[in-house]
Every structure is written in C-alpha cells, then in structure tokens.
Amino acid sequence: MATETSSTGSWLVMGLGNPGSKYEGTRHNIGHMVLDELLGRMNAKYTRTKIGAQAVAARLGPGGPKAVFAVSEGYMNVSGKPTRGLMDYFGVPAENLIVVHDELDLDFGRIKIKRGGSEGGHNGLKSITQHLKGDKDYIRVRAGISRPAGRMDTADYVLQRFSSTEREELPGFVAQAADAVELTIFEGLTAAQNTIHAV
C-alpha cells in the first residue's frame, strides 16, 4: 500500500456499493457517494491497494482525527473480504468500523446510525459480518432509499438510478450522511445519534 495510507488512527469508514460506471448514481451506491463527499471535504484521493479496495488515510479537518476511508473494488456481496483486509492491515477493531450503506427500511433522505443488530437482508452487511466471524459490533450509517412501490423487484430497484425528484434532494442527503460519519468519529455514537436522528 502507498505510504500515505500506511499510518493512521483506529477508524475505518467503508462506503458500500458496486464498481464501475454502470452502477454510478444508483440507489445501492449511496455509500460510494457519501465517501466521495467526505474525500472532497478533506481534499483527499483514493489509492489502489493490494487488498481489493481503494483507500486513503486522511484527517477530518485541520488537526482532526485520522481515519481510513475506503470503497471496495469488488461487488456489494463480497464487501467483507476487503473490509476485513483493511481492518487487519490498519489494526482497526470492529467497534471502530463505520459502514455507510443504503437502507430500504428508511424513507428516502432519512439517516439512522446504529451499532450492531441484524443485516436486514443487505448482502454487503452480510458479507462483512461473515468475514468478521459473526461479530456485528460495528457502526452502520443507514441511508434511507425507501422500498419500491408496487411489485417491483427489490434487486432491480436498488440498481436503478435515483428519480429526478430524488436527485434534487440528493446533495443535501449525501452531505447529511457524511455529517453523520464525522459526528460519530468526533463526538461519539450517542451524540451523533442525538443530532442526526433529530433532523
């Protein structure tokens, strides 16, 4: 791995999604969008790793805490292997892993932060839990995308791009999810929940 990603604190932020232009802007890739927002705030860029992820170690603001920010180079359902690889490389414990992902069970634009719990059928979370040998004690920033209307297949729905109406609200939604990550690292989980869940 590059030297700029070889020294960090004990946080890892993973944004879930699928690789390639085919999936850019889809509901399932909200995690990638949030990581792009965070990197933009820090003026940071990813470096390719040998672990199957793009990652960068950067500070949250001048003199702020340092963490690794990453996205997998593989598909959603194999997110666990690169996540575990980065955790092992940087010495990040499960309790300091933050996973940003799309959430069908929240209305579009709603954000919830939680530690542990079930994966709710989310294949990315299932893969991570599997590679953590069943340890679910990591933090999830759940970005609501709503459930599909009618009888649309969920798998098809999450791979669609956001509607024109949703795209108007998307920048603010992504920014708020990025805020949730920063608050969790800066102020702790409970304080972040109190702020974000009140919105």
State pLDDT tens for residues 84-125: 999 999 999 999 999 999 999 999 999 999 999 999 889 999
Of 102, 76, 72, 122, give the one whose Cα is nearest residue 166.
102
Binding residues: 23, 75, 77, 123
In tens, the pLDDT along 24-52 reads: 999 999 999 999 999 999 999 999 999 99
Catalytic residue among 28, 32, 101, 131: 28
Direct distance between the N- and C-terminal alpha carbons of the chain, in angstroms, rounded to an integer: 39
Residue 91 CB coordination number (10 Å): 11
Secondary structure of the chain in HEC code, one letter for each residue: CCHHHCCCCCEEEEECCCCCHHHCCEHHHHHHHHHHHHHHHHCCCCEECCCCEEEEEEECCCCCCEEEEEEECCCHHHCHHHHHHHHHHHCCCHHHEEEEEEECCCCCCCEEEEECCCCCCCHHHHHHHHHCCCCCCCEEEEEECCCCCCCCCHHHHHCCECCHHHHHHHHHHHHHHHHHHHHHHHHCHHHHHHHHCCC
Provide the whole-model pTM.
Answer: 0.93
Q: Determine whether 28 is an active site residue.
A: yes
Annotated binding site for tRNA, which residues? 23, 75, 77, 123
3-196 belongs to CATH 3.40.50.150: no
Domain boundaries defined on the chain: 3-196
| pLDDT score, position 183 | 96
